Amino acid sequence: MTISTWDDSIALGIPVIDEQHKALFGWIDTLNEAIKKGDGSEAVGEIIWKLITYVTEHFTAEERLMLSCNYPGLEAHRKEHDQFVLRLQEIQVNYIDGHEMGRQILDFLVDWLICHIKGTDQGYSRFIHQQEKKS
């Protein structure tokens, strides 16, 4: 089983953010590979921890960017981020409790990311590009 990776169809045209999105897919892929290889729960748990840390840093970077250009959709966007982080933390707790990290969870992570980038992230990206044109 392979995991979807980043491609141009979900590019925002904001290099720093596109790089972070690529790295996010990279972390999900690393998680997928570790599960496939049958790595122990300590190794998989470590990757989940790193994924959550990276996601949190990335969301903070996006929110700072939206704040810096007075993007009006910031609050709604932040709520989506917060809900995803909560879901990730639930996944982490469930994993520590002994639940399996299955394909369903990996699919959820990838689907959520693609949907969020193509929808919600496109919103601020368009706004920033319009601002740039005006200036």
Query: Nearest approach, Cβ of 77 to Fe ion (angstroms)?
Result: 6
Query: Nearest approach, Cβ of 44 to Fe ion (angstroms)?
Result: 25
- The owner of tokens 């840093």 is 57
Pick 10 or 121: Cβ nearer Fe ion: 121
CA-closest candidate to residue 62, choices 41, 44, 34, 84 = 84
State the residues that interact with Fe ion by CB under 5 A: 62, 121
User: Exposed, middle or buried: residue 109 (CB in 10 Å: 0-12, 13-18, 19+)?
Assistant: buried
Pick 60 or 94: Cβ nearer Fe ion: 60
Query: Nearest approach, Cβ of 5 to Fe ion (angstroms)?
Result: 18
Query: Nearest approach, Cβ of 36 to Fe ion (angstroms)?
Result: 28
Pick 44 or 113: Cβ nearer Fe ion: 113
Pick 47 or 62: Cβ nearer Fe ion: 62
Distances (CA, A) of 118 to 5, 36, 76, 90, 125: 14, 28, 16, 24, 10
